[in-house]
Structure 1
Amino acid sequence: MPAFTDGGVGRRIAYYRNVTRPRMTQRQLADAACVALGTIRKIERGERGVTDATLQAIAHALGVDPGRLCTDRGAVNTRVHDALPALSAAIATYDAPEDGPVRPLHELRTAVADAARWRVAAQYTRIVRALPDLLTELSRAYHTALAEERAELAGLLVQAYRSADAVAYKFGAWDLSARLVELMRWAVPQAEDPTLSASVAYVRTETFFAARAHVAGLRALEQALDSVPAPTAAPMIAARGALHMRAAVIAGRAHDASAADHHLAQARTLADQVPEGVYCGTVFGPDSVKIHVVSVAVGLGDEHVGRALDVAGQWKPPQDLPAERRSAFYIELARAQLWAGLADDAFESLKVARYIAPQHTREHPWVREDAATLRRLKRADAESLTHFAEWCAAT
């Protein structure tokens, strides 16, 4: 595996070690990462390189995305793109996996839950390292399982496909993403879980976003809402609310303000009934609805940006909200600020998004578009803006 030899990696490791609460010593970091103390010391001094595996272990011990430690702008993203063919190969044999070992069901549950946690934290490199083998193992487990275990294994497959899809979609592999969505739709009836069915309908909207088929996507979501059972418990309330949130966003992209407002209102009513949290893989609650108010306003167009700016002027996403959702807020806010002529504020929002979730921010098409626009418009802080534009490959 490649090794990072830039001394900046060591400096960043030392920085994050010193800002943890409580502060970590080099010994504590070495123990937590299962790396020799001498290795940690040499890395921080820039005297030795860092392999992919060691970088992942150190990042996990520090509780940060590996992208924050890697000074090579393209290295993390190159590793993700290079791993996508392995995901394709893993799903090619979804119905006829090769023979091999299968872990106990409780271990598979843990592995799937880990991948879901990495997804909402925008830790895509961790997903692509683990998912190809996990998807193959889950397929093997499903096809060899006893009848009483197959429903749960189908549900685990759906959740694992969703984590893999997050990487494919965010990194522009839309054909692979569409294939993963279809596999979710294949597996979900076997899971016999209506909340999981709603989750798949939520994810399926990606295919409509990618095709810019917003009217058709809104119609598909409204059909899914019609088929969702009446919500009686928190998971189903959240599932229904998430569908309304998604419908509001795609209605905004379709420039249907009336439908967007209706679905936002429905989502807000449901969000008031549950605490903010991750339900069946989807983040939902009052804070998520506020973020979607900004997203809808931006989707409707620059004449609606006042609503986005009003929300941002009174509220910011709390720190305990998952990274992917928080970074999305600042990415969308930056677009609203840019349209409102607030170039400096827009750049600050993009930098906040990058700090929260670097991989999610770097791969977002709006970030590249807006960074390129800012680079053309601005003269102040030109060096910093140029570095940012180069980092996200803005043209």
Structure 2
Amino acid sequence: MSVPLTVCISAGEPSGDVYAGMLARELLASEPGARIVGMGGREMADSGAELLIDIRDSSVLGLVEVARSLPAFLRKRRTLRDWIRDNRPHVLVTVDFPDFNLGLAAQARSLGVPVVYLIPPKAWAWRRRRGRIVAQVATRVLCLLPFAAGFYRDAGADVEFIGHPLVDTIDAYGLPDRRGAREALGLSDSGRVVGLLPGSRTRELGCLLPPMLDALDVVRESAPDAAAVVALSGSTSDASVAEVTAMATIRGARVVVGSTYEAIRASDAVIAASGTVTLECAIIGTPMVIAYRLSPLTYAVVRRLVRVEHSGLPNLLAGRRACPEYYQSDVSGRFLGSAVTELLVSDAARDSQSGAFSDMRAKLGPPGAMQRAAAIVAETARSWAHE
């Protein structure tokens, strides 16, 4: 391709923004003069991409929440569609966020723009017909998990298992040992520490943080001196940080922002929102309890459609319930507190998770996931340009 590469990236949630930012950095480093434009948040902006749409403080969770945000969704999609129509980038990269991105991908293909779907929908878990839809609208599909790649291959997609970029991220982070992590966070080197990882979305914080804090009361029945740290991502809004700090302080928990890895390493056990952070815990090696809660209506729909036994990514990779999982009404201080207490007091419970974590890491693939993704994006753009 004689002209510099122009890539449109669509990432509609904080988690997707992280991966979009990684990809943008790799593309800008490997493709001189490349231009990255699209929808994202802090990570994409910091990478050097141009944001047509800034997603900060606008992400939602669940079917019902998406429906309520439909007018804004459609406006944003029209903005990206119009930009793609008027500027004809060499490739569109969609990152997760399927309720938005599947429609955008179809629109891009109708305009003759190839689509690389990075982190396609979790159709292997529910709404399986989306596998065929992705195969139809995506030129290439890039999966971070091996079982997802297998599912999309069976659905007819041109798919590649690129490995998981968290392997590189955590290896390169320079994470201190537990003592150093505690020192960095102002925690005592002695005594037990419980980490609380309630997620980054406003609704997750509202649903998961209160029962996580209630769990501390149960933990302290067996370990009265147990300390607690609530870890929030750097993308959490100032208003949410202030609200969480007020809730946590009265329960004797410290709040840290942008130091999630240190909090995981400093903790003897964590209670984590189901999602990517559970893989981060597994890679770092800290035992966990997984919590998952949606709005009642969203959960009622999901429960009828879901086709997997586990929701936690470590358990899906392990093929068994290596880590305790709690859903909906079972996400309570009593259940979470009892489960995390067992991890604090039982060597067997901790060792069982540690063994599973070693196997999981091998399944996440070798280093270099985002370099492989960037190479495939550039290759796709060049292949289509020469057709």
Q: What TM-score, normalized to structure 1?
A: 0.24
Which structure carries more relative contact order (alpha carbon 8 Å, separation 6+)?
2
Structure 1 or 2: larger strand share? Answer: 2
Q: Which has the higher helix share?
A: 1
